[in-house]
Structure 1
Amino acid sequence: MMIGELARRSGVTTKAVRYYESLGLITPRRLGNGYRDYTEDDVRLVREIKALHRMGIPVERTRPFLECLAAGRAHIDDCPASLAGYREVIDELTERIEALTARRSTLITNLRAAAHRGSTVAPAGTDEDYLTLPADLPAPEDDGATAHLPGTKAPRITLPSTAGKGVRLDALGARRTVIYVYPLTGRPGTDLPEGWNSIPGARGCTPETCGFRDHFQDLLEAGAGRVHGLSSQDTEYQNEVVERLGLPFDMLSDPALTLADTLGLPTFEAAGARLFKRMTLVLRDGAIEHAFYPVFPPDEHAAEVLAWLRENPL
């Protein structure tokens, strides 16, 4: 067969085939007119080279595997040299992973330090009213309102963030994204809706947010690729919260509660406004992997999410 057919059947480019040939990994015979003539064996060799390369084995180091086939073995890794090749690449990848993990930890530490460096510390007697939860807060009941969420595809919704850019929920990638959804955060000098403390699950947004702030690095180290808070408050309001509390992550705004309407999320009414009920969604690969609901007490919820991440590693 000609080189174009070999490339098509093997799923590579003709340039790649010529490169493999230059390394002596495949050796087609020459026809009388000078054209290369490839065989079914060459198709298999090229496919094996491609598969090994996708696993992280450089093309130049696939020779022992191909020689294993040439020796008459049924599989490319039936020979001791092939196993040694696996081990060498595994060791190299382990070193790279360790180096990248160390760099990632350093970046996380720097991010958290930078987020706190310029934050405004509220005067005594202001924020502490929002950070302290009454002992008699009513606990929300599990009404099964989020039971349908695990396994549901993330909607193609883009929400504005405090970073000044949109976050598309169905395109967050393969790493886990933790989004804690809450009704509203109080602001010093601003009254909360009347009867707020008597609404099950309403009070405690600021302590919950501070919990995610304080556990942020732990959450990333446990496998969360991103952390976001989400409420119906506008981005300008949330920017003040990010600054005042020194948050190392971005907040998402959904004033129209589009996410609630699209996914059927539970909401409630307070002071004439429709608000999200408190819950946390874990998204991965464009779908909702897990939903925490109801959330109580809110000031301990970040630790609950952290425990789940550690108990359910990828």
Structure 2
Amino acid sequence: MMSGRDSGGGMRIGELARRAGVSVKAVRYYESLGLVTPARLANGYRDYDEHDVRLVGEIKSLSGLGIPVERTRPFLECLAAGREHGDDCPAALAGYREAIDDLTRRIDALAARRAVLTAHLREAAHRDSGTPWTYDEESAMTDDLTQLPPDLPVPEDDGAARHLPGLAVPRAELASTAGGTVRTDALGPGRTVLYFFPLIGTPDQDLPEGWNSIPGARGCTPETCGFRDHHAELREAGAERVFGISVQSEGYLRGIVDRLRLPFVLLSDPGPVLADGLRLPTFEAAGKRLFSRLTLIVRDGVIEHVFYPVFPPDAHAQQVLEWLRANPLPADGTTAPPHA
């Protein structure tokens, strides 16, 4: 029998349940387990007091932590012994440890199940297909990331890139999918194509919620595949180097390079350091700051031309190729960029 009861009661089960924030049925269940033992009046009615309110409140709190009702007894006995807190006794601490061990076993089991499901998802996503697939929350259907959905919103030119032509590219050391880093202020002589993209999805990860409705967000995979497919032509047209740049990690981007079989490297700028140095346009999505889609033609370290906004992304590499062909480097070998 638990002690600690007040000398006077006068409380009925409905009032106890209301004050403790539980149902009458729950109180009766606690009584059936012997966790709450009210006094009995002469007429046989149960008579509860403040101690019972505290016991029921303790059971409710512990249940919210994931401790089964049946295992709350050590905590209640600690209160009945006059302790200020239900976990002031060694037996209660042992109850915590037991509950933690149970949770750990359940977490391990769920993690193992999750790993199996992830493996099945990846296998199914890549099976008999050379293109990546993902689940699109907006259309509730499997969606080929290499294709653009119809009626994508067209981004407008907000003037956020007008200051860029003629600027020298500042120094930033960006992790490369080829290993090591690339210094943006030392790209080398001639022309370099730097295309900035928000993020590339993978078969086992959903795109951010509402992604298709953000102007200029959707289309990183077809844009990148376009630079892949036109890479040799871009080189022939005078692009010494092509780099794709995203805030995504180098390890993640390395997987993209392998999966899409890219002949060029991708660079990671999670800061984003280069974006801040050049004051590039960015936007927020999925709790992250992402690049707005934009391409720079850099010539001998200076920004010669800017493509912004970029739309449609699947035709952008062809657009860059046409500009390079229409603006060949001087035949005399001069290196000073023309007036932007």
Query: 1:257 matched to which residue of 2?
Result: 272
Greater displacement, 195-204 / 160-169: 160-169
Q: Equivalences for 1:113-152 in 2 at 5 Å?
A: 122-124=126-128, 127=132, 129-152=144-167
SS in 1 for 2:145: helix
Which of 312, 324, 333 is the matching residue for 1:297? 312
Write out per-residue CA displacement over residues 202-227 of structure 1, whole angstroms, 9 at most, x where no aligned residue.
Answer: 00000000000000000000000000
- What residue identity is the alignment partner of 1:158? E
Q: Distance in 2 between matches of 1:161 and 1:217?
A: 20
C-alpha displacement of 1:124 = 4.5
Query: 1:159 matched to which residue of 2?
Result: 174
Q: Distance in 2 between matches of 1:293 and 1:242?
A: 24
Q: Distance in 2 between matches of 1:170 and 1:245?
A: 28
Write out per-residue CA displacement over residues 90-139 of structure 1, whole angstroms, 9 at most, x where no aligned residue.
Answer: xxxxxxxxxxxxxxxxxxxxxxxxxxxxxxx9434661510111111001
Quickly say closer, same or farther: Cα 1:266–1:137, change in 2 above 3 A.
same
Instruction: Please tell me whether the aligned partners of residues 178 and 281 of structure 1 are also in contact (alpha carbons under 8 angstroms).
Output: yes
Write out per-residue CA displacement over residues 127-156 of structure 1, whole angstroms, 9 at most, x where no aligned residue.
Answer: 151011111100100011111101001101
2:278 paired with 1:274: no
Q: Equivalences for 1:174-213 in 2 at 5 Å?
A: 174-213=189-228
Higher relative CO (Cα under 8 Å, sequence separation at least 6) belongs to 1
TM-score, scaled relative to structure 1: 0.60
Q: Distance in 2 between matches of 1:173 and 1:255?
A: 23
SS in 2 for 1:131: coil
Q: Distance in 2 between matches of 1:168 and 1:284?
A: 15
Gaps spanning 5+ residues in structure 2: where? 1-124, 134-143, 330-340
2:240 paired with 1:225: yes
Q: Distance in 1 between matches of 2:169 and 2:145?
A: 32
- What residue identity is the alignment partner of 2:199? L
Query: 2:56 matched to which residue of 1?
Result: none
Larger helix proportion of the pair: 1
Which of 216, 224, 231 is the matching residue for 2:231? 216
Q: Distance in 2 between matches of 1:258 and 1:306?
A: 28
Q: Distance in 1 between matches of 2:166 and 2:150?
A: 36
Q: Equivalences for 1:232-251 in 2 at 5 Å?
A: 232-251=247-266
**Structure of larger gyration radius:** 2
Q: Distance in 1 between matches of 2:243 and 2:277?
A: 19
Instruction: Please tell me whether the aligned partners of residues 151 and 288 of structure 1 are also in contact (alpha carbons under 8 angstroms).
Output: yes
- What residue identity is the alignment partner of 1:222? A
SS in 1 for 2:185: helix
- What residue identity is the alignment partner of 2:279? G
Aligned residues: 194
Q: Please list every run of at least 4 consecutive aligned residues from structure 1 whose deviation after the TM superposition is greater than 2 angstroms.
A: 121-126
The CA RMSD over aligned residues, in Å, is 1.3
Percent of aligned pairs with the same amino acid: 65
Q: Distance in 1 between matches of 2:326 and 2:295?
A: 17
